[in-house]
Each structure stands twice: as structure tokens, then as C-alpha cells.
Amino acid sequence: MSTTTARVFNFSAGPAVLPLSVLEQIQQDLVSLPGVGSSVLEISHRSKDFDDILDDAQSRLRRLMGIPNDYEVLFLQGGAALQNVMIPANLLSGADQTADYIVTGAWGKKSSGEVKHYGKLNVAWDGADSNYDRVPAPGELSLTGATEGAAYVHLTANETIQGVQFHELPDCGDVPIVVDHSSDIMCRPVDVSKYGLFYACAQKNAGVAGVTVVVVRKDLLERSGPLPSYLSYAIHADKGSRFNTPATFAIYVTGLVCKWLEEEVGGLAAMEKQNIAKSKMIYDVVDGSGGFYVPHAAEKDRSIMNVVFRLPTPEQDADFVVKAARAGLTTLKGHRSVGGIRASLYNAMPVEGVEALAAFMQDYAAKS
């Protein structure tokens, strides 16, 4: 049986590249987990074997991110899209309450669109005027404020489409801050005690599509009235993420990715160093191209996960994508709302892939 074949460097924005050692581990045990005699795909979510898998994933996540004990760690389904619903459903205590949303790109915009079903929306800032190329300065925010009754402030830590990232959290006083970390979870250390809640669909930095990590301060679990069961954080927390059958395989992969981060990378500070170095390689080519490559994001707010830039013409953008794919550098086309090129350099993108892209970019610019 041939178990490995040639692999490309896949710059997809998500689902995205996984560490090769994680893929090989999954492959090796796929038909029968050692000591179990069934595939991880076949074991009951009520079994001791699965308890061990879920506990291991949670423990590793808690250690890596330094998640305090007064926070629940939940493994849910439905992606960030369902979190856009669950957050206002759970954190607004009634239709007259307000949630503040800081909109720095397409995902923040989408998140803010669901608030109306449960309460009032205050857009504290929206970067649409400059096509979402930066995050706001502290003085630009129109926050409702705790005294007037804002239930929470939501922001998107990293906007994958625009390649714009918060490098520090804004000061929101006593109002709980709720953060979408879907595309940059575990890209670097964060201080979890500053958050009310954060969430991340796993398919960029934390595993595969199908599971969403939600980390929520326990005192926020009881804000809403009775909700439909699946929408209630309190119910999922009470049942240890087993209110219903969780995405067992996806949780297993998140555990393996956390193991890789702990044991092979050496933790989130080491990961951050790699991520800064990898993204700098591409930004340096962009900045040194004499204007051939034009970056989308303002320099201070550039993402270390998604590098977004364009070539002189849309025709050259398209040609670049085709020729890069032929060279084994795939999925580089930018999102239609921004155009150009998007190179996603998530945790698992190897340095060799980034070096190959940088070299390809220099070569392409020189020949143009």
C-alpha cells in the first residue's frame, strides 16, 4: 500500500495545511487505535477511550493557552457561523440589551448581522470606508460602555480575507470582550484572563473543519433565559461537550495538533517567533518589490497569518496564481472582495513552503 504521495504547499485560507507528523499519526492509527481495536471514527462518545481523547485535547489546550479554571472549554459544532448566533443568544439577557461590534473585515460584518435576532446592535467602528485595511485606534471606538448597559464587545482578532490583525486587544473597561480567534488561535501567547469569551473554528490553526473551540468565563454562562438546548452554552458546559454526540474525530485531531504545538514546536512563544519570521519573509518581498506587489493592510495591522497583496493588474494576479500552482504553491487566489493574492501562513505551513513562495515571488517580479 502506498501511504504517502507527493504533497504541494497549500496556502488555503481554511480548511488549511496540517502538520505532516499529525497526518501521519492519523493515518497510522486510522483502521484501529492501538489498544482499542476500533478506528477513532468508530468509538462511542460515551466510552473511556473517547473520554481520554477529549480530556487530553482539553488539557493540552488549557496548558498551551494558559486558560484559567474559571473558564469552560467547549468543543461544539456549526463553526463560527453558529457562534455568531449563540453569542448574542447567550450573552444578551433581553431584547433591550446592546452588544458592541468592532467591524474590521468580512467576518466581523457577518458576526454583527445576527445580533438583531436577540437584542440591539451598536457598531462601535466599521472599517468599510478603506476596504478594511486596518484596525481602529483606541480613540476611534464608539463603545456603548458598561454603565449604559453594553452586554459585551465583539471583535475579530484576525480578518482572513483582508489580512488585518489586532496585535493587542482594545481596552473595553468592565465590558466582557468576545473574540473570534478562528484564524489565529494559538498563533502566539495571549492573556486569556482578559477575555469574556473567545471562539475558533478549528480548520485553520487548531485542526479540521467540524469542531469549534469555545472558551467562556463561567460567570457569563447564566445570562440568558431558557434557550433551545443546542444553543445554550450552559447545557454544553454541564454535559462536558457531550450534550449530544460531538465531532469525535475532529476533537481527536485538535488534540494531536495541540500535542504537536507542545512537543514539536515547543509552545506558543516559539510558534509566534516562527510565525513572525514566516510572514516577514513574504512582507519583505512585497515591500522590496518597488511597488510591483501592493500590500492590502496598513503596515502596523498586518496579519502574521494571512498575507494579502496584489499585482499591477488583475490579469497578472490570475497569471501568478496559475504559475504558482504549477510550481506546487497552491490556493493563492485572493478573495473576490479584495482581489489579488492571499497567502495563508498558518502555524502548520512549513518554513520551506514560505521560502519557496518568497523565491517564486522574486522570480515572478523579476521576469515581469
- Binding part of the chain for a second copy, among 111-119, 168-176, 187-195, 300-308 by CB under 8 A, reads 111-119
| Dist. CA 229–CA 337, nearest whole Å | 36
Judged by beta carbon, residue 42 or residue 264, the one nearer a second copy is 42
User: Could you give the dihedral angle defined by the CA atoms of residues 14, 19, 25 and 26, in that order, rounded to the nearest 10 degrees?
Assistant: 0
In angstroms, give the least distance from the CB of 278 to a second copy: 17
- Pick one of 15, 189, 240, 350: the residue that binds a second copy (CB under 8 A): 15
Cell numbers of 76, please? 461544539
- By CB under 8 A, tell whether 43 contacts a second copy: yes
Restricted to residues 295-314, the positions that interact with a second copy (CB under 8 A) are: none
The single residue listed with the C-alpha cell 476611534 is 140
In angstroms, give the least distance from the CB of 116 to a second copy: 9
Kindly write out the interface string for residues 86-105 of this chain, putting x where it contacts a second copy by CB under 8 A and - elsewhere.
Answer: ---x----------------
Restricted to residues 208-237, the positions that interact with a second copy (CB under 8 A) are: 208-211, 226-231
Cis omega (within 30 of 0) for bond into 15:
yes
| Dist. CA 354–CA 350, nearest whole Å | 7
In angstroms, give the least distance from the CB of 8 to a second copy: 4
Restricted to residues 320-359, the positions that interact with a second copy (CB under 8 A) are: 328, 330-331
In angstroms, give the least distance from the CB of 150 to a second copy: 21
| Dist. CA 20–CA 2, nearest whole Å | 16
- Pick one of 28, 193, 337, 368: the residue that binds a second copy (CB under 8 A): 28
In angstroms, give the least distance from the CB of 91 to a second copy: 14
- Pick one of 52, 55, 117, 128: the residue that binds a second copy (CB under 8 A): 117
Backbone angles phi, psi at 287, to 5 degrees: -65, -30
Restricted to residues 147-186, the positions that interact with a second copy (CB under 8 A) are: none
Cell numbers of 63, please? 496548558
DSSP state, residue 136 = P
Judged by beta carbon, residue 5 or residue 313, the one nearer a second copy is 5
Site size toward a second copy (CB under 8 A) is 71
- By CB under 8 A, tell whether 318 contacts a second copy: no
CB within 8 A of 165, min separation 6: which ones? Answer: 135, 157, 158, 159, 184, 301, 302, 303, 304, 305
Beta bridge partners of 302: 164
CB 180 within 8 A of CB 153: no
Name the pairing type of β-strands 98-103 and 71-76: unpaired
Name the pairing type of β-strands 294-295 and 9-10: unpaired
- By CB under 8 A, tell whether 244 contacts a second copy: yes
Judged by beta carbon, residue 135 or residue 345, the one nearer a second copy is 345
| Dist. CA 32–CA 38, nearest whole Å | 5
Restricted to residues 263-292, the positions that interact with a second copy (CB under 8 A) are: none
| Dist. CA 10–CA 345, nearest whole Å | 9
Cell numbers of 108, please? 466581523
- Pick one of 41, 277, 318, 322: the residue that binds a second copy (CB under 8 A): 41
- Pick one of 37, 66, 149, 288: the residue that binds a second copy (CB under 8 A): 37
Residue positions annotated with a catalytic role: 107, 180, 204
- Pick one of 90, 112, 160, 248: the residue that binds a second copy (CB under 8 A): 248
